[in-house]
């Protein structure tokens, strides 16, 4: 998990393209 911390975060965020 530590190795892919940011990918984990991006997958868990409920972000919209506007937020990117």
Partner 1 sequence: SNGDASPAVSMAELDHQAQIISKSHLETCQYLREELQQMSWENFVQDEVENYQRKPREVMWQLCAVKITEAIQYVVEFAKRIDGFMDLCQNDQIVLLKAGSLEVVFVRMCRMFDSQNNAVYFDGKFAGPDVFRALGCDDLIASVFDFAKSMCSLHLSEDELALFSAFVLLSADRSWLQEKLQVEKLQQKTQLALQHVLQKNQREDELLNKLRCKVSALRSLCSRHTEKLSAFRAVYPDIVGTRFPPLYKELFGA
Counting every residue, how long is the chain?
Answer: 20
Q: How far is the CB of 13 from partner 1 (least distance, A)?
A: 9
Round to whole Å and give the CA distance between 14 and 8: 12
Instruction: Give dist(CA 19, CA 10) in Å, integer.
Output: 12
Question: Residue 11 CB, nearest distance to partner 1 (Å)?
Answer: 6
Binding mask 1-20 for partner 1 (x = CB under 8 A): --xxxxxx-xx---xxx--x
Please tell me the count of residues contacting partner 1 according to CB under 8 A: 12
d(C-alpha 1, C-alpha 15), whole Å: 20
Residues in contact with partner 1 by the rule CB under 8 A:
3-8, 10-11, 15-17, 20
């Amino acid at each position: 998990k530590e190795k892919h911390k940011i990918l984990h975060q991006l997958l868990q965020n409920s972000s919209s393209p506007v937020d990117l």
